[in-house]
Structure 1
Amino acid sequence: MEKRDNVVYPYIPNSVSKIKEEMLKEIGVEKVEELYQSIPKHLRVKGKLNIPGPILSEIELKHHVEGIINQNKSCDEYVNFLGAGCYNHYVPAVCDEINGRSEFLTAYCGDTYSDHGKCQAIFEYTSLIGELLEMDVVGLATYDGGQAANTSIRMAHRINGRKEVLIPEIIDKDIVNQIKEYCDFMEIKKIKANKATGQLDLDDLKDKISEKTACVYIENPNFLGCIEEQGEKISEIAHSYGAEFVVSVDPISLGVLETPAVYGGDIICGELQALGIHMGYGSGLGGIIASKDEEKYIMNFPNHFYSLYENEKGEFGFSRSLNQRTSYHSREEAVEFLGTNVGLWAITAAVYLSLLGPQGMYEVGRNILYKSNYAKKVLGEIKGVEILYQESKSFKEFVVNFDRTGKTVEEINRQLLKEKIFGGYDLSKDFTDLGQSALYCVTETTRKEDIENLAKAVERILLSKDSKGGKNE
């Protein structure tokens, strides 16, 4: 691509030199560089960036971008066994049809402002999520599940004024890093996991909890797919010290698993992506926050509530409520900065839940349970391969260990790509005590033959010659 000076970019507004000069004159600035005086000189790049010149032809630009995009391999082309936070669930066509409508579709957060139709749609979302979680109070979806988890922890701090949070040892490292940043004023303690089940070590929890503990936070299922069966006991321990019990849950699991509300969860959070939302290279995420119907919880939600109202004429409408909690209303005096909400994905999740209903959610959950357990059985029969946490029930994800094969997860995954298979998430860097282990994921989109083909491919890879020319025994 040819470099050009003084180019007028057709896809960048106000790039005409005359317009830029007028804009600078209007604000009393001679050169653009003056706008960056607050940035220290040692942080500024000297000279021009070494980047290609612009592609001015729309058709050439389209070909260029498509060439980059076509280097990606999607789950439509490859069989996927990768999860670890973003999942290849089936998206019913009606979800795309409704969230693509002009009254809902937006490039930003999809908020309501004075849009009463959207107010009603988000009210339906909060009602459906409330029914799914068996919770009375649900806020508008946050930016993602990570933000929802962190806001839930901060809510606990605001409720009891304590600055200690207990989190499980088995947890997504990205979530840990978010907690360290978002809750940097709090002390974080990790609770050990039972080596056989992957569930929380209750003795370690009892040793570490104290009168300083704001909340006990768990994930169920946890990051490695293990179902936490001790929820009621964890709740009792947390509440005996006056701590809140915060549970992050995979909503797609609630067709077959009890909601945390049943075993004592005070604040429930989670990630919406499984509910009718496509994987999107980091987009398509939304966070759930729900709680009991008590003032101490309600007034500590930073995100919007949507309620049904009746006027003196008996007419019904939908609107935001208790806005004084939010930074939209009270700015720096609010309980917490609101940040970006994701109304579009909230509406999409509402469509998905409306479409499936309780029976549909049960069938999806059962389908995932059967298929993931079948995958554990088939992979566990391969020589040298071990399924970890066998004493625990799992949902959707499970850990496969390759230590006895002489192969690394990285090597196996590289070879699986040649078979058009996305292998499991490599745990060897974040969970070093698990050795060469991978987190495999199975959803309702995974077919029986996909699982069997995966097992055959892994067997071939393990029997193949390694990079040194030897053979794995």
Structure 2
Amino acid sequence: MTSKPQVYPYIPNSVPAVKAAMLAATGAASVEEFYADVPTELRMDRPLNLPAPLLSEARLKRHVQAILARNRHCGEVLSFLGGGCYQHHVPAICDEINGRSEFLTAYAGEPYDDHGRFQALWEYCSMMGELLNLDVVSVPTYDGMQAAATACCMAARHSGRRLVLLAANTSADKRSHIKTYGRSEIDFVEVAFDPITGLLDRGDLRAKLSQEVAALYLDVPNYFGGIDEGQAIAGLVKSAGAMLIVGVDPLSLGVLTPPGDYGADIVCGDIQSLGMHMSYGGGHGGFIASRDEEALLMQYPSRLFGIAPTSVPGQYGFGDVAYQRTSFDKREQGNEFVGTAAALWGITAGVFLASQGPQGMVELGEGIMKRVAYARQRLSTLPGLRLAHPGAVHFKEFVLDFSATGKTVAEVNAGLRERAIFGGHDLSEAFPALGQSALYAFTEVHSQADIDALVDALREVLAS
């Protein structure tokens, strides 16, 4: 007996007549024949594990609402999650301005008379340049991981070398993204980190530097929140004729030295911390920055905005610089094919930076470091719990080691969830050398009472 085919209302090619018409248009007699060029070992030999279709729109809506109702967002509970997407205070002015009709649909393309958005993005780039103390800043890329991957490709093109070193104390997701994106033109080698300090192992760096290395990629602060000594690392990298690429949290630059000041050639990062809600992991934009050196500037694949006088005395215009570099002009001959940008988030970050000003950025950075110091002091008193990297200075995040407590991070986090607290990221799989460790984040939204509540909750969970 032949089973009745399942038709999904929102998947057109699940309708038998539509599927037959598509096969006829391609000249294939069956789906198997259509996919004949795909090797058998790469093909799934069973149906997708999809639930039965909900044919009623009302029932589908109820089903989706029931799934969404299971979510608990960070506004409902106390959260210490970080690892790349952070709970920061978003000033109301950021939402007000990025919701205006002039900006809300800001995307990659635009009408020629869209001068307001050009100026807004130029202002964003200018403020980022001041924060980074660098001359050239790109309009936002898709996210910080994309910016890091592109920065590595820029260094390889600029130097003519294929080998890029990646600091192993970078996020596992970011390292994976960089390797996937750059695999066609770059060979990657990881540089170990010291498990005692969480900082880059300089001995391993020295051993792996050579005249074939294009660049070292390093995050400051690193994934564990530790702050490497950038100047010393820059000296080692430069001695091999390589470039230094530093990923940075822009919110840290109110208290930390900008990477360009200690020798970074390319600086990149994510602007989510500059006025963007977490949006379930969706509110991201990346930046790339460097000195104004023509040979390096021509390696940027993304758009660069500048200012120029117009034919009307005293008036200025805003638009693309060296447009001929881009895939918009050269198409497949461009440095890289640039697709989705995050222009709206660039405008939002510009609003945030303008609202904070230099002093505001200093106060934000200092406030975060004070919270981190207080949290480290309080948490280190809990029996069996230890700071994974006690000797390093940290910004926003640090690692807690639960190995001696007799509980796994998964068990601890389950206990915290019962108490309406999101614990830290479980690092036991991505960084097994750290044992049962978790990454905890502290930002300006956390009060002293919040940190005390975490300490009390952990004491209960560990004693249970």
After TM superposition, the structure 1 = structure 2 runs for residues 21-420 of structure 1, keeping only pairs within 5 Å, are: 29=25, 38-40=34-36, 43=43, 50-57=50-57, 60-106=59-105, 109=107, 111-114=109-112, 115-184=114-183, 185-228=185-228, 230-314=229-313, 315-420=315-420
Query: Per the alignment, do residues 39 and 113 of structure 1 end up closer, same or farther by CA in structure 2, a change over 3 Å counting?
Result: farther
Over the residues paired in the alignment, what is the CA RMSD in angstroms? 2.9
Question: In 2 relative to 1, CA 227–71 (structure 1 residues): closer, same or farther, beyond 3 Å?
Answer: same
Partner amino acid, structure 1, of 2:318:
F
TM-score by length of 1: 0.89
Letter in 2 for 1:218: L
Instruction: Judge which range, 448-457 or 48-57, deviates more.
Output: 48-57
SS in 1 for 2:344: helix
Deviation at 1:188, TM superposition (A): 1.9
Distance 1:200 1:354 in 2: 34
SS at 2:237 equivalent:
helix
Deviation at 1:45, TM superposition (A): 7.6
Alpha-carbon distance change, 429 to 101 in structure 1, aligned in 2, over 3 angstroms = same
Rounded Cα–Cα distance in structure 2 between residues aligned with 1:451 and 1:443: 11
Identical counterparts, % of pairs: 42
Whether contact under 8 Å (2:8, 2:53) holds in the other structure is: no
Q: Structure 1: how far apart are the matches of 2:14 and 2:209? A: 59
Change (3 A) 1:8 1:81: closer
Question: The residue matched to 1:246 in structure 2 has which SS?
Answer: strand
SS in 2 for 1:394: coil
Post-superposition CA distance 1:378-421 (Å, at most 9, x none)? 11000111012111110010111111111111100011000000
C-alpha displacement of 1:369: 0.5
Work out whether residues 112 and 118 of structure 1, in 8 Å CA contact, stay in contact via their aligned partners in 2: no
Cα distance 1:56–1:308, how it changes in 2: closer, same or farther (>3 A)? farther
| Shift of residue 64, structure 1, vs aligned partner | 3.1
Cα deviation for residue 240 of structure 1 reads 1.9
Contact 1:136 1:290 in 2 (8 A): yes
Partner residue in 2 for 1:471: none
Which one is further off, 195-204 or 78-87? 195-204
Report the CA distance between 1:337 and its aligned residue: 1.6
Give the 3 Å change call, closer, same or farther, for CA 219–50 of structure 1 in structure 2: closer
Separation in 2 of the partners of 1:142 and 1:86? 16
Distance change >3 Å, CA 368–CA 6, structure 1 → 2: closer
**Distance in 1 between residues matched to 2:190 and 2:81, nearest whole Å:** 26
Task: Tell me, yes or no, if the aligned pair for 1:109 and 1:340 is still in contact at 8 Å.
Answer: yes
Q: 1:79 to 1:283 in 2, by over 3 A?
A: same
Q: Which range moves more in the overlay, 75-84 or 190-199?
A: 190-199
Name the SS of the counterpart of 1:103 in structure 2: helix
- Cα distance change, pair 34–346 in 1 and its aligned pair in 2 (3 A): farther
Alpha-carbon spacing, 1:90–1:32, altered in 2? closer, same or farther (3 Å) = farther
Equivalent position of 2:450 in the other structure: 450
C-alpha distance in 2, partners of 1:437/1:7? Answer: 46
* C-alpha deviation, 1:359, in angstroms: 0.9
| In 1, Cα distance between equivalents of 2:303 and 2:444 | 33
SS at structure 1 position matched to 2:104: coil
CA shift for structure 1 position 189: 2.2
Who is 1:468 aligned against? Answer: none
Residues 167, 192 of structure 2: 8 Å contact kept? yes
The answer (yes or no) to whether the contact 1:111–1:341 under 8 Å persists in 2 is: no
1:50-85, Cα deviation, whole Å (9 max, x unpaired): 53334544x554433222111101001110011111
Q: Give SS of 1:153's match.
A: helix
Aligned partners of 2:6 and 2:53 also within 8 Å: no
| d(CA) in 2 for partners of 1:308, 1:35 | 55
TM-score between the two structures when normalised by the length of structure 2: 0.90
Instruction: Give me the whole-angstrom Cα distance separating, in 2, the residues matched to 1:98 and 1:54.
Output: 39
Aligned residues: 455
Kept in 2, the 8 Å contact 1:80–1:423? The answer is: yes
Whole-angstrom distance in 1 between the partners of 2:340 and 2:31: 27
Task: List runs of 5+ in structure 1 lacking aligned partners.
Answer: 465-473
Instruction: Letter of the 2:277 partner, please give it.
Output: H
Q: Secondary structure at the match of 2:101?
A: coil
1: distance between equivalents of 2:108 and 2:459? Answer: 47
5+ residue gaps, structure 2: none
Q: Which amino acid aligns with 1:414?
A: A
Q: Distance in 2 between matches of 1:52 and 1:451?
A: 46
Q: Distance in 1 between matches of 2:370 and 2:197?
A: 19
Query: CA, structure 1 residues 103+386, in 2 after alignment: closer, same or farther (shift >3 Å)?
Result: same
Q: Which sits farther off after the overlay, 130-139 or 61-70?
A: 61-70
Deviation (angstroms), 1:29: 3.2
Residue pair 1:111, 1:342 contacting (<8 A) in 2 also = no
Give 1:272 shift: 0.9
CA contact (8 A) 2:8 2:54 kept: no
CA distance in 2 between counterparts of 1:270 and 1:374 reads 27
CA contact (8 A) 1:303 1:338 kept: yes
Tell me: CA distance 1:455–1:54, structure 2 relative to 1, closer, same or farther (3 Å).
same
* Aligned-partner residue type, residue 147 of structure 2: A
User: Any conservation in 1 of the 2:108–2:339 contact (CA below 8 Å)?
Assistant: no
